[in-house]
Protein backbone atom coordinates (compact mmCIF):
# COMPACT_ATOMS: atom_id res chain seq x y z
CA UNK A 1 0.00 0.00 0.00
CA UNK A 2 1.25 3.48 -0.81
CA UNK A 3 2.12 5.81 2.01
CA UNK A 4 -0.19 8.66 2.88
CA UNK A 5 -3.30 9.18 4.95
CA UNK A 6 -5.90 6.41 4.91
CA UNK A 7 -9.34 6.40 6.47
CA UNK A 8 -11.49 3.65 7.97
CA UNK A 9 -15.17 3.32 7.08
CA UNK A 10 -16.24 4.99 10.33
CA UNK A 11 -14.00 8.00 9.62
CA UNK A 12 -15.26 8.36 6.05
CA UNK A 13 -18.89 8.08 7.15
CA UNK A 14 -18.33 10.71 9.84
CA UNK A 15 -16.57 13.09 7.43
CA UNK A 16 -19.28 12.68 4.78
CA UNK A 17 -22.21 12.52 7.17
CA UNK A 18 -23.58 9.31 5.61
CA UNK A 19 -24.39 5.82 6.85
CA UNK A 20 -22.17 2.85 5.91
CA UNK A 21 -24.81 1.40 3.56
CA UNK A 22 -24.72 4.62 1.50
CA UNK A 23 -20.94 4.39 1.33
CA UNK A 24 -21.15 0.77 0.11
CA UNK A 25 -23.73 1.78 -2.52
CA UNK A 26 -21.49 4.57 -3.83
CA UNK A 27 -18.54 2.14 -3.90
CA UNK A 28 -20.53 -0.18 -6.17
CA UNK A 29 -22.01 2.49 -8.41
CA UNK A 30 -18.79 4.43 -8.94
CA UNK A 31 -16.31 1.55 -8.85
CA UNK A 32 -14.44 2.84 -5.83
CA UNK A 33 -12.33 -0.06 -4.60
CA UNK A 34 -10.92 0.62 -1.13
CA UNK A 35 -7.92 -1.40 0.02
CA UNK A 36 -8.13 -3.66 3.06
CA UNK A 37 -5.99 -3.45 6.17
CA UNK A 38 -4.49 -6.46 7.96
CA UNK A 39 -7.76 -6.94 9.85
CA UNK A 40 -9.71 -7.04 6.57
CA UNK A 41 -11.39 -3.66 7.09
CA UNK A 42 -11.87 -1.31 4.17
CA UNK A 43 -9.54 1.69 4.12
CA UNK A 44 -9.81 4.68 1.81
CA UNK A 45 -7.07 6.83 0.35
CA UNK A 46 -7.17 10.62 0.35
CA UNK A 47 -8.07 10.54 -3.37
CA UNK A 48 -10.95 8.13 -2.74
CA UNK A 49 -12.25 10.35 0.05
CA UNK A 50 -12.15 13.35 -2.28
CA UNK A 51 -14.03 11.40 -4.95
CA UNK A 52 -16.66 10.39 -2.40
CA UNK A 53 -16.99 14.02 -1.31
CA UNK A 54 -17.65 14.94 -4.95
CA UNK A 55 -20.25 12.16 -5.23
CA UNK A 56 -21.98 13.48 -2.12
CA UNK A 57 -21.96 17.03 -3.50
CA UNK A 58 -23.45 15.89 -6.81
CA UNK A 59 -26.22 13.82 -5.25
CA UNK A 60 -27.10 16.03 -2.28
CA UNK A 61 -26.44 19.56 -3.52
CA UNK A 62 -26.74 19.30 -7.29
CA UNK A 63 -29.60 16.76 -6.98
CA UNK A 64 -28.24 14.52 -9.72
CA UNK A 65 -29.35 10.98 -10.41
CA UNK A 66 -26.74 8.20 -10.44
CA UNK A 67 -26.45 8.62 -14.23
CA UNK A 68 -26.06 12.37 -13.79
CA UNK A 69 -23.44 11.85 -11.09
CA UNK A 70 -21.44 9.61 -13.40
CA UNK A 71 -21.54 12.32 -16.06
CA UNK A 72 -20.43 14.95 -13.54
CA UNK A 73 -17.61 12.75 -12.30
CA UNK A 74 -16.51 11.84 -15.82
CA UNK A 75 -16.40 15.49 -16.81
CA UNK A 76 -14.73 16.45 -13.54
CA UNK A 77 -17.12 19.20 -12.54
CA UNK A 78 -20.33 19.53 -10.61
CA UNK A 79 -23.43 20.63 -12.45
CA UNK A 80 -22.54 19.03 -15.79
CA UNK A 81 -25.13 16.65 -17.14
CA UNK A 82 -27.65 17.87 -14.60
CA UNK A 83 -30.62 15.58 -14.07
CA UNK A 84 -33.39 15.83 -11.52
CA UNK A 85 -34.00 12.87 -9.18
CA UNK A 86 -37.28 11.14 -9.97
- Structure confidence at residue 29 (pLDDT): 87
Rounded distance between C-alpha atoms, residue 9 and residue 85, angstroms: 27
pLDDT > 90: what percent of the chain? Answer: 55
- Structure confidence at residue 58 (pLDDT): 85
Query: Residue 20: in which H helix or E strand, if any?
Result: helix 20-29
* pTM over 0.85, yes/no: no
**Is a pLDDT exceeding 70 seen at residue 10?**
yes
* 57/75: higher pLDDT: 57
The mean pLDDT of 1-20, rounded to a whole number, is: 89
Closest CA relative to residue 10, chosen from 81, 72, 29, 37: 37
**Is a pLDDT exceeding 50 seen at residue 83?**
no
Segment 50-66, tens digit of pLDDT: 999 999 998 888 777 66
The mean pLDDT of 60-73, rounded to a whole number, is: 69
DSSP states of 24-75 as a string?
Answer: HHHHHHTT---EE-TTS-EEEEHHHHHHHHHHHIIIIIS---HHHHHHHHHH
Domains of the chain and CATH, by start: 6-75 (1.10.1660.10)
Amino acid sequence: MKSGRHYLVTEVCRKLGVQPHILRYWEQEFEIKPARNSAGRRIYSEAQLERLQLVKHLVRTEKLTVAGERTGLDQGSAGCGRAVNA
